[in-house]
């Protein structure tokens, strides 16, 4: 697969195929004060569904930087219908912020009108595919725009799953026209937890569908009987294995907007900018420099 | 093979109720017990929701300590998980939960501090809504003013407590031990108005009659109903003050009581 098979950057909208960082409340003032040299910011959509100070900051920052809205609460995989209240709140944020990208997850969080507060795994079945496809169609119709759907980190698989996750995502993109938010850290975490082949995962996605890449840190938990589980916690630097997989992803997909994501132990802004610079150096490597060339 | 809905209901029973049996039957073990895999999700959900409550209730957390707070939060979350993914709106019922929580009974002001923190949280996160345009109000016949029902701004809240919960809240958040020690819990009730000010959240003490009259308006009673209920308040001055402070976003006309009584029953 050649990097040149990737869609040209212009079709990815105004977010350039460069490195951005997750904008967190702790850094609002520093960003406004220092106007850091970074290509774009991503926010958690749910953090801006109200009014007041957070929205004031985002409105100020969006004047100078492209913004991506990344949601965690839409629950595309709920067997019941999407929460109309949440969809309306999402639409409100999108109309107000006019983000360059809008994304959600291949997961579910709501059942029986209760929000379970984690990105829960789906059984990857034909039933789940039909349901997620309908929900993505619905969201794209309500928003009047394409969304990206992100691969989750998972800690369990269901016995009755029949479709590999990458095939599920690739088919979802093909059927709905949605893009894929390829979280390289999540691929690594799930691959370690389930024995998947990360390279096969990347190769299974259509490069033209990749609208964004996420990079983050994770932790490794030692469980009983010497079993280890990789946990996606966004609380540390990107690890060498994930940088290596990222280089392979860039070789596969071509340059794609790439996000440095922290949600726990959030460090000073400089640390995020430092990691973004590292991503930028891999993004700007000449085509053909694959993972083998990356010093881990 | 379970339907997707059956599986998600089983996951709910596992993650919220702690009953893994139905969900675990569908999980691939692959070297690790299904229960241990489900536990990872249960932990993350609990941490996320506890964090949401900590962000909303920092003074309650300091008053009771981290361990007590997390324990109370865990019981609250299990009893009343959120109904939406918009977590800034989660936790309103925590004050009532604390009021009925025997281990917290010795801190009788704790539910009041929690109610104040919920009002502060609302003031922080309520949507931005344009205030009532006074020209619209001026356009109606003054003779109809008594029947007007005003709509409060969602960022404005009213809190009342028998203890000086505003002083406790400030002292705790400032970690001001001297101020905390000086608080007289029997100094009498406080009537508080909480709102989003130009420079941040403002918590102001107002007179009891003014608070009660305002609370009646906020509860959707017409101006003449509120005046009748609290004749000691100064309605013109209070309403003018609220309008100037942009505490209302709209209004509607109530049907006067005498007409309401005479209205025909809807035909079925």
Has the ipTM of the complex gone over 0.95? no
Residue-level pLDDT at A223: 84
Judged on CB neighbours under 10 Å (0-12, 13-18, 19+), B231 is exposed
Lowest mean pLDDT segment, chosen from A11-25, A31-45, A103-117, A163-177? A11-25
| Confidence band for A226, pLDDT divided at 50, 70 and 90 | confident
d(C-alpha B240, C-alpha B225), whole Å? 17
**How many helices (DSSP H) and strands (DSSP E) are in chain B?**
14, 5
- Do residues A155 and B37 make contact, with C-beta atoms less than 8 angstroms apart? yes
For tokens 């990222």, what's the residue? A246
State the count of interchain CB pairs (< 8 A) between A and B: 141
| Confidence band for B259, pLDDT divided at 50, 70 and 90 | low
Which contiguous run of DSSP H or E holds residue A263?
A: none
| Confidence band for A205, pLDDT divided at 50, 70 and 90 | very high
Domain count, chain A: 1
| Confidence band for A8, pLDDT divided at 50, 70 and 90 | very low
Residue A267 Cα, gap to closest chain B Cα (Å)? 18
- Of B1, B36, B124, nearest to A223 by CB-CB distance is B36
Judged on CB neighbours under 10 Å (0-12, 13-18, 19+), B163 is buried
Query: In terms of CA atoms, which chain A residue is nearest residue B196?
Result: A52
Instruction: Give contacts of B16 with chain A, Cβ < 8 Å.
Output: 114, 116
Inter-chain touch A158–B27, beta carbons under 8 Å: yes
Summary mean pLDDT of chain B: 93
Residue B227 Cα, gap to closest chain A Cα (Å)? 32
- Do residues A218 and A230 make contact, with C-beta atoms less than 8 angstroms apart? yes
- Do residues A128 and B4 make contact, with C-beta atoms less than 8 angstroms apart? yes
- Report yes or no: A131 at the B interface, CB cutoff 8 Å: yes
Q: Which of residues 52-81 of A touch B (CB under 8 A)?
A: 52-55, 72-75, 77-80
Strand pairing class (A148-150; A101-105): parallel
- Report yes or no: A128 at the B interface, CB cutoff 8 Å: yes
Lowest mean pLDDT segment, chosen from A8-22, A87-101, A242-256? A8-22
CATH of the domain at A240: 3.20.20.150
- Do residues A71 and A93 make contact, with C-beta atoms less than 8 angstroms apart? no
**Host domain of residue A66:** 3-7+14-293
Q: Give yes or no for residue B267 having a pLDDT over 90.
A: no
Q: Give yes or no for residue B2 having a pLDDT over 50.
A: yes
Summary mean pLDDT of chain A: 92
| Confidence band for A220, pLDDT divided at 50, 70 and 90 | very high
Query: In terms of CA atoms, which chain B residue is nearest residue A122?
Result: B4
Number of Cα atoms under 13 Å in the Cβ half of residue A38: 33
Inter-chain touch B34–A155, beta carbons under 8 Å: no
Q: Give yes or no for residue A137 having a pLDDT over 80.
A: yes
| Confidence band for A12, pLDDT divided at 50, 70 and 90 | very low
Instruction: Give contacts of A73 with chain B, Cβ < 8 Å.
Output: 84-86
Instruction: Give contacts of B124 with chain A, Cβ < 8 Å.
Output: 50, 52-53
Residue B21 Cα, gap to closest chain A Cα (Å)? 14
Interface test with B, best of A50, A75, A161, A264 (most B CBs within 10 A): A50
Please state the pTM of the whole predicted model.
0.91
Inter-chain touch B8–A224, beta carbons under 8 Å: no
- Of A78, A160, A223, nearest to B26 by CB-CB distance is A160
Instruction: Give contacts of B85 with chain A, Cβ < 8 Å.
Output: 46, 72-75, 83, 86, 109-110, 115
Instruction: Give contacts of B9 with chain A, Cβ < 8 Å.
Output: 111-112
Q: What is the DSSP string of A250-275?
A: HHHH-S--EEEE--SS---HHHHHHH
Number of Cα atoms under 13 Å in the Cβ half of residue A119: 19
Q: Give yes or no for residue A66 having a pLDDT over 90.
A: yes
Instruction: Give contacts of A192 with chain B, Cβ < 8 Å.
Output: none
Query: In terms of CA atoms, which chain A residue is nearest residue B7?
Result: A123
Residue A249 Cα, gap to closest chain B Cα (Å)? 27
Enumerate residues 6+ apart whose C-beta is below 8 A from A281: none
Q: Give yes or no for residue A3 having a pLDDT over 70.
A: no
Neighbours of A84 (CB within 10 A): 9
Residue B4 Cα, gap to closest chain A Cα (Å)? 6
Lowest mean pLDDT segment, chosen from A45-54, A163-172, A220-229? A220-229
The vertex-B99 CA angle with B205 and B73, nearest 5°, equals 105
Residue-level pLDDT at B123: 97
Query: In terms of CA atoms, which chain A residue is nearest residue B39?
Result: A155
Query: In terms of CA atoms, which chain A residue is nearest residue B129?
Result: A51
């Amino acid at each position: 697969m050649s990097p040149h098979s990737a869609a040209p950057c212009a079709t990815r909208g105004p977010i350039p195929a460069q490195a951005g960082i997750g904008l967190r409340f702790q850094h609002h003032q520093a960003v406004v004060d220092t106007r850091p040299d970074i290509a774009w910011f991503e926010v958690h959509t749910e953090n801006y569904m109200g009014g007041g100070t957070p929205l004031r900051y985002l409105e100020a920052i969006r004047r100078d930087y492209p913004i991506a809205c990344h949601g965690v609460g839409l629950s595309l995989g709920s067997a019941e219908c999407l929460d109309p209240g949440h969809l309306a709140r999402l639409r409100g944020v999108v109309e107000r912020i006019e983000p360059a990208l809008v994304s959600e997850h291949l997961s579910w969080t709501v059942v029986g009108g209760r929000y379970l507060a984690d990105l829960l795994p789906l059984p990857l079945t034909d039933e789940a595919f039909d349901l997620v496809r309908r929900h993505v169609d619905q969201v794209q119709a309500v928003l009047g725009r394409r969304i990206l759907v992100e691969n989750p980190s998972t800690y369990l698989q269901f016995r009755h799953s029949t479709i590999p996750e990458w095939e599920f995502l690739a088919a979802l993109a093909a059927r709905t026209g949605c893009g894929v938010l390829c979280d390289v850290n999540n691929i690594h975490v799930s691959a370690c937890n389930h024995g998947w082949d990360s390279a096969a995962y990347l190769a299974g996605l259509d490069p033209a569908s990749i609208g964004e890449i996420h990079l983050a840190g994770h932790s490794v938990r030692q469980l009983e009987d010497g079993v280890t589980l990789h946990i996606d916690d966004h609380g540390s630097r990107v690890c060498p294995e994930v940088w290596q997989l990222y280089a392979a992803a860039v070789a596969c997909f071509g340059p794609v907007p790439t996000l440095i994501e922290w949600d726990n132990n959030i460090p000073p802004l400089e640390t995020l900018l430092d990691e973004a610079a590292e991503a930028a150096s891999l993004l700007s490597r000449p085509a053909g420099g694959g993972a083998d060339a990356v010093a881990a | 093979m379970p339907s997707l809905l059956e599986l998600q209901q089983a996951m709910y029973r596992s993650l919220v109720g702690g009953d893994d049996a139905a969900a675990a039957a569908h999980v691939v073990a692959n070297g690790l017990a299904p229960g241990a895999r489900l536990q990872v999700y249960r932990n993350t959900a609990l941490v996320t929701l506890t964090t949401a409550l900590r962000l909303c209730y920092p003074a309650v957390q300091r008053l009771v300590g981290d361990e007590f707070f997390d324990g109370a939060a865990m019981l609250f979350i299990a009893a009343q998980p959120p109904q939406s993914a918009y977590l800034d709106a989660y936790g309103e019922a925590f004050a009532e939960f604390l009021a009925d929580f025997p281990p917290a009974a010795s801190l009788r002001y704790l539910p009041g501090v929690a109610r104040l923190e919920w009002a502060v949280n609302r003031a922080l996160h309520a949507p931005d809504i344009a205030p009532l345009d006074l020209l619209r109000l001026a356009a109606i016949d003054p003779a109809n003013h008594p029947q007007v029902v005003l709509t409060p701004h969602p960022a404005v809240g009213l809190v009342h407590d028998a203890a000086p919960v505003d002083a406790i809240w400030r002292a705790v958040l400032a970690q001001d031990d001297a101020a905390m020690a000086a608080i007289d819990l029997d100094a009498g009730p406080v009537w508080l108005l909480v709102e989003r000010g130009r420079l941040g959240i403002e918590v102001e003490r107002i007179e009891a009659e003014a608070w009660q009259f305002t609370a009646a308006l906020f509860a959707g009673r017409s101006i003449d109903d509120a005046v009748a209920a609290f004749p000691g308040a100064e309605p013109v001055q209070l309403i003018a003050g609220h309008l100037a402070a942009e505490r209302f976003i709209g209004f509607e006309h109530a049907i006067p009581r005498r007409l309401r009584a005479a209205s025909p029953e809807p035909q079925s």
